[in-house]
């Protein structure tokens, strides 16, 4: 019953949207979260979507999309950034797991973006720690630079989140392997206040 309901659509975006609707409506069915699913995936996996998102503890793709073991290939780091290692993980999912959809999932109240917009004149560079590297990476994103020209970042929090998502989206879309396999790459925003995932 549960498997039938989850798999009634073969469209990966519809699966995610339906799962999020169940989540926000408090009608989750917690699919593929049992021993049977462990055994079904023990020798191989075939996730229907890659989710690149933030490490924020409030953003858990399997929960907010009401999915389970073997459904999602999740890549997480502060600020949903795309390093070479993250890109390699995406390429692996596409080439070896035959995953057809990639989602860049940003979110409201993102601490990495707040650190970026609250930074004054590159003050983060004084700390010499790895958190500084996150802020610097965001500050160098072309989309953030362009957004800041239109509206100063200190007053453009949602715009900065949007620019950050667009930057990661473009990096993935420009990847030759992603182009070769004609993979769909979509931007989404998770609202930590409501639990809703919003297509962008």
Q: Given a cut of 80, is residue 77 above it in pLDDT?
A: yes
CA-wise closest residue to 113 among 76, 80, 149, 146:
80
Least-confidence region, from 5-19, 105-119, 138-152, 166-180: 5-19
pLDDT tens, position by position, 25-39? 999 999 999 999 999
Question: What is the average pLDDT across 122-129?
Answer: 71
pLDDT at residue 19, rounded to an integer: 97
Q: Given a cut of 90, is residue 3 above it in pLDDT?
A: no
**What is the residue-averaged pLDDT of the chain?**
93
Q: 184-190 and 197-199 as β-strands: parallel, antiparallel, unpaired? A: antiparallel
Q: Given a cut of 80, is residue 132 above it in pLDDT?
A: yes
- What is this structure's pTM? 0.92
Please check whether residue 58 is in contact with residue 107, taking contact to mean a CB–CB distance below 8 angstroms.
yes
pLDDT at residue 130, rounded to an integer: 87
CA gap 132, 162 in Å, rounded: 21
Burial of residue 191, with CB atoms counted within 10 A of its CB: 0-12 exposed, 13-18 middle, 19 or more buried: middle
CA gap 173, 118 in Å, rounded: 29
pLDDT at residue 1, rounded to an integer: 44
Q: Given a cut of 60, is residue 5 above it in pLDDT?
A: no
Question: What is the average pLDDT across 84-105?
Answer: 98
pLDDT band at 156 (very low <50, low <70, confident <90, very high): very high
């Amino acid at each position: 019953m549960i498997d039938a309901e989850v798999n009634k659509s073969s469209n990966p975006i519809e699966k995610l949207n339906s799962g999020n609707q169940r989540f926000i409506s408090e009608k989750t069915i917690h699919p593929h979260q049992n021993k049977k699913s462990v055994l079904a995936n023990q020798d191989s996996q075939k996730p229907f979507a890659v989710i690149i998102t933030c490490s924020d503890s409030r953003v858990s793709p399997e929960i907010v999309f009401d999915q389970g073991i073997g459904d999602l290939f999740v890549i997480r780091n502060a600020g949903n950034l795309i390093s070479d290692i993250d890109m390699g993980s995406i390429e692996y999912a596409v080439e070896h797991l035959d995953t057809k959809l990639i989602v860049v999932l940003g979110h409201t109240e993102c601490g990495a973006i707040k650190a970026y917009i609250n930074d004054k004149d590159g003050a983060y560079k004084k700390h010499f720690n790895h958190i500084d590297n996150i802020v610097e990476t965001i500050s160098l994103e072309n989309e953030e630079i362009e957004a800041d020209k239109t509206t100063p970042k200190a007053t453009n929090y949602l715009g900065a989140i949007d620019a950050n998502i667009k930057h990661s989206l473009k990096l993935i879309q420009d990847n030759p392997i992603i182009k070769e396999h004609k993979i769909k790459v979509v931007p989404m925003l998770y609202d930590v206040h409501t639990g809703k995932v919003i297509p962008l």
